[in-house]
Chain A
Amino acid sequence: MQTNRPFLNVLLWVVLSLLTLFPIYWLFVISVKPAVELFSAPSVFLDPIYWNNYAKVLTNETLRRYMMNSIIISSGNALLVTTLAFMACYALSRYDLAGKENIFFWTITNRMAPAAVFLLPFFLLFTQVFKIGDFKLYDTRIGMILLYCTFNLPFAIWTLRPTIDGIPKELDEAATVDGASTWQVISEVIFPLARPGLAVTLILTWVFAWNEFLLAATLTSFNARTITTGLSEYVTTTGTEWGTMASIAIITLIPALVVFSVVQRHIVAGLTFGAVKE
């Protein structure tokens, strides 16, 4: 289409990549500096590396627990949300349900709510309303997994819908004629074809759940506390432990990075949020 100038492209991307990476690199630099050096003239290069911040974080029992909570909550939530969204999208795409386009739009309105004020009703629901015997949702992993559905489930439905819509209906019909049940159609025809879309949905919802802060800070106290809230505990009005905070931040990046790189190649094929294919 246009003249291809690989050299200019590479040059441009090197500059852009440096801009993109710099904040992350700087986070790393801060994480390997002792606190006293923070106030000396900032240097872009690494002085002798000081690993104590990491040692402090990794040997901290509480932080390890928060990390585990984060992994369980975000994995549980991403799996739940992707499964439910897959079922819902199949229903919205293949059945002639009354008012289905309105239902589709309504799902996304759940994501628009400003989180701050909904903290209060969530808090009351979690401590007083949704409970069985002594079991309350407050400060439990299952509570957080369900709660994160409010913003992740709509996103998943909107990300997945174009993928499911894009799979020709004739395939379902052919399989049905051959005697396949609805379950078989979903698991053997639709599922393999929707895999790129499902992978992208899974990873993005996982990342959103992993990164969530405000809800976790209010609705957990210790048992289900996540690593993002653990991180914020080091930012206080009396003085921030920048080094410790930065090293936690770097550690939280690692699992996200691993999960992300696994599905990286599916991303472009599967990312079509709400877009209508013509």
Chain B
Amino acid sequence: MRSNKIGWLLLAPTLTILGLFGIVPFLYVLYVAFHQWNPFGANPGMIYNGANNFRRLVVDGEFLTSIYYTALFAFFAVVSEIILGYLLAQLFTKDFPGKAVFRTIHTLPLIVAPIVVGSVWRLMTTPSIGIIPYYLKYWFGYDLNIGSNATAAFALTVIMDIWHWTPLVTLTLLAAIVSLPKDPFEQAQIDGANRWQIFWHITLPMIRPAILATVFIRLMDALRTVDEVWMLTGGGPGAATRYLGLHIWKVVFPKTDYGYGSAISIIVLYLTLVMCWLLYVGLVSPRAKKRII
């Protein structure tokens, strides 16, 4: 075994940067979370108030509503993206004319900045100038107004997220599918398995790690979405699209309630971490199992 010193040396710059820009701010936020601090409020100073911020969280209707909508948003968006992404990746495993062009087009949304995505969708859906409300009204007589219809606004944020992020899922799953060995599939066909059986008993178990990894990154990012939704709906109407990232932003900036905002962040970070940790355990378990066998 070679000396571990070199290993640590190679890891050192990463640990230094993430320490300075990751741990230091985190400790600071943790510190602020135990204080009442609103620099533009009646008491501008930082006052230690123990766990009061966290106590307030549990009964804060706005915060709980935000958690509820964020969970719904993340669920609908991530599940649709995984299913759609998987189907599209399967299609890409076959040969057809113009495949390279279609693949390039399909990956285009990935490179569009979230703030631009939000702006485009707002352009298309704002009642007075948008093309979508115009034609919905013209063809179906349906009045789409995301400024007042909460369900429509929510659905639209999900659709926007699907448009933006399905390509990432397609690409990761395609990489996994392409690298699968051919033998099990041929064997299964010889044994007369149907498509569904092949999918359920061979493909799915084999690409499970890739699916979990994709869910992991999509979930993580869906839970902290801000830019796009901020541009599209600004969190409204009411609180229907006021997802956690946006909610925190509103507590911290317009209200300058730093102490409480920090407490929310700590809890949100904690919840995200637990969820992702569970997924990660599911992800590494094949590795652990293999060691035993």
Contact = CB atoms under 8 A, between A and B. Distances in A.
Interface of A: 1-2, 4, 6, 9-10, 12-13, 16-17, 19-21, 23-24, 26-27, 30, 38-39, 41-42, 44, 84-85, 87-88, 90-92, 94-97, 101, 103, 105, 107-122, 124-125, 130, 146-147, 149-150, 153-155, 157-158, 176, 182, 207, 210-211, 213-214, 228, 231-232, 235, 242, 245-246, 249, 252-253, 256-257, 260-261, 264, 267-278
Nearest to B198: A1
Contacts of B239: none
A113 B265 contact: yes
Contact of A149 (B21, B130, B224, B264): B21
9 contacts: A1-B185, A20-B106, A24-B120, A84-B14, A88-B13, A109-B269, A214-B227, A272-B210, A277-B209
Contacts of A147: 21
B55 interface: no
A97 B13 CA distance: 16
Interface string B105-118: 11111111111110
Contacts of A211: 111-116
Contact of A85 (B14, B106, B217): B14
A115 B224 contact: yes
Interface of B: 1-2, 4, 6-8, 10-11, 13-15, 17-18, 20-22, 24-26, 28-29, 32, 88, 91, 94-98, 102-117, 119-121, 123-124, 128-131, 134-135, 163, 171-172, 174-176, 178-179, 185, 189, 195, 198, 206, 209-210, 213-214, 216-217, 220, 223-224, 226-227, 231, 244-246, 248-249, 252-253, 258, 261-262, 264-265, 268-269, 272-273, 276-277, 280, 283-284, 286-287, 290
A23 B111 CA distance: 13
Given A109-B276, A260-B110, A273-B213, 16 more contacts: A17-B105, A20-B163, A26-B123, A110-B18, A110-B21, A116-B252, A120-B262, A125-B24, A149-B21, A153-B18, A257-B111, A264-B104, A271-B172, A275-B176, A275-B213, A277-B179
A105 B119 CA distance: 34
A100 to B, nearest CB: 8
B283 A274 contact: yes
A182 B88 CA distance: 42
B10 A91 contact: yes
